[in-house]
Amino acid sequence: MADLIHRKGDLYAGEGLHGGGFQPSLRPPEAAGTGAVPAGIRKSAPRRRSAALRKIWDSRFCTMVGIDVLVFVSSCILATLLRFEFELPPRGVTQIVELLSCLVVTKVVTFHLFGMYKGMWRFSSLSEFWMLAQACILSVLCTIVVLLLLGGLHKIPRSIFVIDAVLTFVLAGSVRMLIRSYFAVKSGSRIIHSSCTVPGRRAAERVLIIGAGASGEKLLRTIIENPNIVYHVVGFLDDDSGKHGRALLGIPVFGPVKDLGRVVRKYGVESVFISIPSASGTQMRNIVETCKECCISYKTLPAIGEIMEGKISVKKLRDVNYEDLLRRKPVRLDNEWIREYLEDRVVLVTGAGGSIGSELCRQLVRFNPEKLVLVDAGEENLYGIQMELRHEVNFQKFCCILASVQDRKLLEAVFAKYRPAVVFHAAAYKHVPLLERNPWEAVYNNVMGSRVVMGLAAGYGVGRFVLVSTDKAVRPTNVMGASKRLSEIIMQSIGRNGTRFMAVRFGNVVGSSGSVIPLFRKQIEHGGPVTVTHPEVTRYFMTIPEAAQLILQAGAMGSGGEVFVLEMGTPIRIDDMARDFIRLSGKEPGRDIEIVYSGLRPGEKLYEELITCDEDVTGTVHEKIMVLRANGNGSKAPADPAAKEARLDRELDDLCRIARTHDPAAIKRKFRQMVPEYTPQETDCVLEEPGCHKLLMEQETMEPGKIRHV
């Protein structure tokens, strides 16, 4: 008996609190009778036994076993009564007692080994009911074997075991179902209200699910069982005719997707959930178009398998992590000494509502400026960053100025009142094709606006001025790049009066308003196709936080006249980026989403560069940042700085006068004169007849200088 007790204790000790199934004893046979324990497990065995004892005496565990014991006793008694048609023989009570003494113990041990007391009954699932059925059958078989060995099987009718197994399954399953239903109702779940609104809940949004398959069933079950999801599913649509007229969890399948309009009107549907993860791009486009025709909002949901495999869709669970698209590690800049020139100072940001400007504002707040002066010509953008700073960041030391950077009188009043110590000039038009067709706006905003802000910064003694530039300023082939290059020339030529002027030049910013990424996202959400201009076009890319950090870092490092460039690695093919983006969205390029090549747009070129022929590259204290120092602006300007600035002023006045005539050919000729490396392309403008761009070609073609690469 002592040996049996030891072995029983080992059985429980070998099975941890959350372990699964039966585990053999770790005690060697030769040590079982003596109580000796090998040295290697002398310390761990008591802990295992104490864990087993805690499990045995746990109140929840005891309650579960106690309920099942009552079920076992009841099923055994009821099975015997049913067998004898409720007329027990003379020794009937004695037989029941003898049977219970073996049956209850066998069932408790079997149920325990099957893990029936590890789960929480309030979350009982279909798989647990299958385990319950197996445990009932096996426990009865074990009881028969034990009684056979003890010689008492001949006294008990065989049919009692069959009836007992069925009753045990029914009663034990009913107890678990009642407990689950109780907790479901208590938590507010609609598990028993799947086709109606639960009393006491606020009005739910009426939704229709497209796709009555496994994914649609899981979605409906999630909505029903989660009290925090306030949706009322009115029905399903599915193109499988075999499902029409049937129901899923009590919710009807109305018909095919083409009936969407009729169902929406009849049942007052407010939103549509598209739950067909296996749908092809063509199928998805057809469904989306049908939703648009019915003027109904829609959302698409990924399959559970796709989530588990990491194929997370663009807008379903999170936005795409743009760092995944860079094909390099994001640059983390050193911010320790940025605080020295920003803390307790007035900082002015132009273009504060744009992609770069707003991120600048978010990062500036961390350095506790005395005041932020936010200037933007866009009402909606300015209001957006205002609300974000006030309510999300909880930063109140700012003022918003709705103004154009071309308005010298207004900006002069702003400089006079707030006296900024640091200016970040991010206001600019950046869309290449639009500026190519409206070149005068590039002059007004990008050139003259920058001239106004720089002049006021120098006049009011601003300590540091950072110009946000672009890699399109390098050997530009479009008006936007020429205007930004001219802004750099102004920055390097202006009389400083103690102001440190510097520029930051970087490539495309993924996720910004002018980036291809938002366009890719919308195209993928609509089922494609994704448009790429050319299979070989390449660009340098950086994230919005990287761009903002580079701008702040430049302000700390610059001494005046520099152009800072981030080491951005190898340029990325847009075609490769589009394919990566499609895969990040859980689709396969060419199969689920098509890629279409639309051709280069006006003013675009196949590749971008970061350095012009007349710039020297030197390193900085930061290993990922380089500084470019100009040897000259490329024009035949006088060597004297004052004369050079005076000549540039005259040329800028001429450019402004030409821009007011809205003569695109003349504007491009003037740009070419002031920025010799500018090579205009054959593009039409909105106010000229097609073909007028050929007037530019009458000018003498100037040989571009040799380009040096980083």
Interatomic CA distance for residues 412 and 391, integer angstroms:
30
Q: Which DSSP symbol is given to 15?
A: S
Interatomic CA distance for residues 448 and 581, integer angstroms:
38
Q: Which DSSP symbol is given to 589?
A: B
Interatomic CA distance for residues 386 and 348, integer angstroms:
14
Q: Which of 578, 562, 569, 577 is nearest to 546 (CA)?
A: 569
Burial class (CB in 10 A: 0-12, 13-18, 19+), 270: middle
For residue 298, report the phi and psi dihedrals to the nearest 5 degrees: -145, 155
Both tokens assigned to 230: 């306030």
Interatomic CA distance for residues 692 and 439, integer angstroms:
14
Interatomic CA distance for residues 473 and 270, integer angstroms:
49
Q: Which DSSP symbol is given to 390?
A: I
Q: With DSSP H G I counted as helix, E B as strand and the rest as coil, what are the percentages for the chain, rounded to 5? A: 50, 15, 40
Catalytic (active site) residue 472: yes
Looking only at the bridges linking them, the beta strands covering 271-274 and 205-210 are parallel
User: Which of 243, 472, 624, 670 is an active site residue?
Assistant: 472
Both tokens assigned to 325: 């698209």
Helix (H) or strand (E) holding 348: strand 346-350
Q: Which of 239, 222, 240 is nearest to 231 (CA)?
A: 222
Both tokens assigned to 367: 């350095």
Looking only at the bridges linking them, the beta strands covering 371-376 and 398-402 are parallel
Interatomic CA distance for residues 339 and 347, integer angstroms:
12
Q: Which of 487, 529, 484, 489 is nearest to 507 (CA)?
A: 484
- The residues that are catalytic are 472
